[in-house]
């Protein structure tokens, strides 16, 4: 048993060493370019929304809603995954990644019905982000509160 374990360890190391890795340089470049383009587009939207007279806070919410809408639409049309295959973190990190993570399972689980399908599975990918994001904000809030108390 011990020998088998050692053999497996050796094999695992060999496999990991020979496995072709994703090309970091190209991935970084595409993530930077496409992610950057999304940010430029968002900034453009913000300028547009404030230009037509929205208050800055409202305009910011409008930008986010627009990006979420476009992502959901592209996801539904089957185009988002094609872009994301190239863009990687470029589409994943902005709000677009989160929107896609909700739209994709919603479309996917439609066949299992509105309740047990779409309703239950819509947060299958985004769920952990929401849960631990909320939890982290609570922890952050407590720390902030204590620091404020001490710092006066």
Partner 1 sequence: MGLITLQNPPSLRAWASVGGKWEKEGPLGSMIDFSDESDKFGQPTWEKSESKMQNTALKLALMKEKIQPSDIGAVFAGDLLNQCTSSTYGLLDFDLPYFGLYGACSTCAEGLMLAAMTTSAGYYSRAAVVSSSHFCPAERQFRTPLEHGAQRAPTSQRTVTGAGAFIIDANCGTTRITQVMAGKIVDSGISDVNNMGAAMAPAAIASMSEYFTASGTKPADFDLILTGDLAREGSEIFCEFMNKRGFDMAGVHKDGGKIIFDENKQDVQAGGSGCGCCAVVLAADILPRLVSGELKNVLFMATGALMSPTSIQQGENILGIAHIVRLEGGNP
Chain positions contacting partner 1, by CB under 8 A: 5, 7-9, 11-12, 15, 18-22, 27, 75-76, 78, 80-81, 83-85, 87-88, 91-92, 97, 100-101, 103-105, 107-109, 111, 124-125
CB of 117 to partner 1, least distance (A): 11
Judged by CB, which is closer to partner 1: 60, or 121? 121
CB of 124 to partner 1, least distance (A): 8
CB of 7 to partner 1, least distance (A): 8
Q: Distance of CA 144 to CAs 131, 134, 152, Å?
A: 20, 15, 12
Judged by CB, which is closer to partner 1: 46, or 101? 101
CB of 22 to partner 1, least distance (A): 6
The first and second tokens of residue 147, run together, are 């620091």
- Note the Cα 79 to chain centre separation in Å: 16
Judged by CB, which is closer to partner 1: 22, or 148? 22
**E strand or H helix that includes residue 118:** none
Task: Name the maximum alpha-carbon separation found in the chain.
Answer: 73
The span from the CA of 102 to the CA of 131, in Å, is 14
Dihedral, CA of residue 82, residue 87, residue 90 and residue 94, to nearest 10:
0
């Amino acid at each position: 048993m011990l020998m088998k374990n050692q053999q497996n360890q050796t094999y695992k190391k060999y496999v990991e060493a020979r496995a072709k890795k994703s090309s970091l340089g190209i991935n970084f470049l595409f993530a930077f370019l496409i992610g950057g383009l999304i940010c430029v587009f968002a900034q453009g939207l913000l300028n547009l929304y404030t230009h037509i007279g929205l208050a800055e806070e409202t305009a910011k919410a409008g930008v986010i809603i627009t990006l979420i809408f476009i992502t959901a639409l592209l996801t539904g049309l089957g185009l988002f995954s094609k872009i994301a295959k190239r863009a990687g973190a470029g589409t994943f990190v902005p709000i677009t990644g989160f929107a896609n993570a909700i739209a994709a399972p919603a479309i996917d689980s439609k066949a299992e019905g509105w309740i047990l399908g779409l309703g239950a599975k819509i947060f299958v990918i985004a769920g952990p982000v929401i849960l631990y994001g909320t939890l982290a904000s609570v922890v952050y809030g407590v720390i902030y509160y204590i620091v404020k108390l001490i710092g006066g």
